[in-house]
Amino acid sequence: MARTKIKFADGLSRCGWVTDDPLYIAYHDHEWGVPHVDDSRMYEFLLLESMQAGLSWLTILKKRENFRRAFAEFNAQRVARFSEKKFEQLMQDAGIIRNAAKIRAAINNARLFLKVQKEFGSFLEYSRLFIKQSARINHWKKLSAVPATT
């Protein structure tokens, strides 16, 4: 049975899904579960999460800086203007996930992200339409009890 928390060599307890990879540990300790209130960070995670589909999150974390370089520092305004030529360049970039559908989605999502910002003032304000309560802190006893989606 997987435990919900594991004690690591540095003496800290972390969620049971964390590996001993330094990138994963840093992500867990400094980003996971931390609300994003900055639209540029929200676009970054929209892009990264869409690239992650079917892959491990650690795979994405290992390629994160390559994604940052390839996708204009996660600047939605710049990504929204990517041309077909830029798409073809991205398809040749071994540092990122070279999946045509995912790359096209990242570009299209940037365009939609900007529309949402224009209509609602920010992506954060738009996302708040779906939040009906304050953050809930759970104290799961077993990793298997943690829902895959919330």
Q: Which residues are catalytic?
A: 27, 49, 57
* Integer CA distances (angstroms), 139 to 5, 13, 22, 114, 136, in order: 10, 14, 25, 37, 10
Q: How far apart are CA 59 and CA 53, in angstroms?
A: 11
Cα 20 from chain centre: 20
